[in-house]
Amino acid sequence: MSDSKQETANKLPPSLHFEQRGAVGILRLSRPHKRNALDDATIGGIEKFFAAVPDDIKSVVIHGEGEHFCAGLDLSELSERDIAAGIAHSRAWHRAFERIEFGRVPALAALHGAVVGGGLELAAACHIRVAERSAYYALPEGSRGIFLGGGGSVRLPRLIGTSRVIDMMLTGRTYGADEGASLGLSHYVVEPGAGLTTAIELAERIAGNAPMTNFAAMHVLPRNAEQDRASGLLMEALMSAIAQGDPEAKRRLRDFLEKRTPKTVHR
């Protein structure tokens, strides 16, 4: 492991494990005895990791050790918090997940087992979600007397609609992998044991894209979806000009026009 990779690994708490495969970084939630519930140290480690992703990593896969992706917030940390501390705690999650959603590289989540509460909020901050058939989704906050605090009240309604999020919170409704995919909670459904492999394959494909195009997809598309039509079209024109003016884009276009790269076909 290079010095920069070792430094990255050393900064992480024991609940997170980092490895690299080519241009893909793999970040593992490593609290299987807690179903990978997220404590303060883990959230802080996620923020630090995505704030300083090594330069030669072009995409990142997040997955969970053991039988579950993530069962949400470690509730043992809530018992002594007052209102001010609760606000600070939620904002810490916001900072960490903003680093994922609007970071330097695309992030993918490989989901299996419980994707619950804060675990679903973490998955929603990723750009691509691959679910094994064992994955199930829930927001049990209503029965716990708490509310979403990791950005889920903003991201999840945009994925599946406000009324479905209300239903999940009020009734404790759960969705399985297939139904979750049809609603937008994941992009792919794969067989048990294939989630991480599939996510890495997709991450490798993403890592091969022009960096400026990846940046535009991550940063411009979600913002355009939230602004007025005229502003969105102007942003699109500006980003299109920036992307196609990049030397890497010019090289790729020459390769295509001179038939050195294949045409797009249905996979």
Within a domain: residue 150? yes
Within a domain: residue 262? no
CA 89/CA 216 separation, integer angstroms:
30
pLDDT range class, residue 6, cuts 50, 70, 90: low
Among 67, 98, 132, 141, the active-site one is: 141
The predicted structure's pLDDT at residue 53: 97
Which amino acid, residue 24?
Answer: V
Query: Would the pLDDT of 98 be above 60?
Result: yes
Which whole number is the average pLDDT over 117-129? 98
Within a domain: residue 89? yes
Tokens of 43: 């959230």
Catalytic-residue membership of 67: no
Of 94, 23, 30, 104, give the one whose Cα is nearest residue 62. 30
CATH of the domain at 144: 3.90.226.10
Query: Would the pLDDT of 142 be above 60?
Result: yes
- Residue 147 sits in the same domain as residue 246: no
Query: Would the pLDDT of 261 be above 90?
Result: no
CATH of the domain at 240: 1.10.12.10
pLDDT range class, residue 151, cuts 50, 70, 90: very high
DSSP summary character for residue 249: H
- Residue 22 sits in the same domain as residue 106: yes
- Residue 185 sits in the same domain as residue 216: no
Of 94, 118, 136, give the one whose Cα is nearest residue 37. 118
What is the secondary structure of 122-168 as a DSSP string?
A: HHHTSSEEEEETT-EEE-THHHHT----SSHHHHHHHHH-HHHHHHH
97 and 153 Cβ atoms separated by less than 8 Å: no
Within a domain: residue 50? yes
pLDDT range class, residue 235, cuts 50, 70, 90: very high
Within a domain: residue 266? no
Among 121, 179, 204, 236, the active-site one is: 121
Query: Would the pLDDT of 153 be above 90?
Result: yes
Give the contacts of 141 (CB within 8 A, at least 6 positions apart): 117, 147, 148, 169
- Residue 24 sits in the same domain as residue 89: yes
- Residue 185 sits in the same domain as residue 233: no
- Residue 21 sits in the same domain as residue 153: yes
185 and 159 Cβ atoms separated by less than 8 Å: yes
Range of the domain at 240: 211-257
Q: Tell me: the pLDDT tens digits for 44-73?
A: 999 999 999 999 999 999 999 999 999 999
The predicted structure's pLDDT at residue 247: 81
- Residue 52 sits in the same domain as residue 155: yes
Q: Residue 253 is inside which H or E element, if any? A: helix 247-257
Which whole number is the average pLDDT over 241-252? 82
Query: Would the pLDDT of 40 be above 80?
Result: yes
At residue 42, the 3 state secondary structure works out as helix
Within a domain: residue 157? yes
Within a domain: residue 263? no
Nearest-Å Rg of the Cα atoms of the chain is 19
Which whole number is the average pLDDT over 147-163? 97
pLDDT range class, residue 10, cuts 50, 70, 90: low
φ and ψ at residue 83, rounded to 5 degrees: -65, -45
- Residue 155 sits in the same domain as residue 215: no
- Residue 221 sits in the same domain as residue 173: no
- Residue 137 sits in the same domain as residue 252: no
pLDDT range class, residue 4, cuts 50, 70, 90: low
CA 37/CA 39 separation, integer angstroms:
7
- Residue 183 sits in the same domain as residue 245: no
- Residue 70 sits in the same domain as residue 158: yes
Q: Residue 108 is inside which H or E element, if any? A: strand 107-111
Which whole number is the average pLDDT over 181-192? 98
The number of distinct structural domains making up the chain is 2
Q: Average the pLDDT over each of 128-132, 149-153, 162-166, 255-259 and give the range with the smallest value.
A: 255-259
| Cα 52 to Cα 94, 111, 168, 212, distances in angstroms | 17, 24, 35, 18
Answer with the one of 174, 192, 207 that is the final residue of a domain. Answer: 207
Catalytic-residue membership of 141: yes
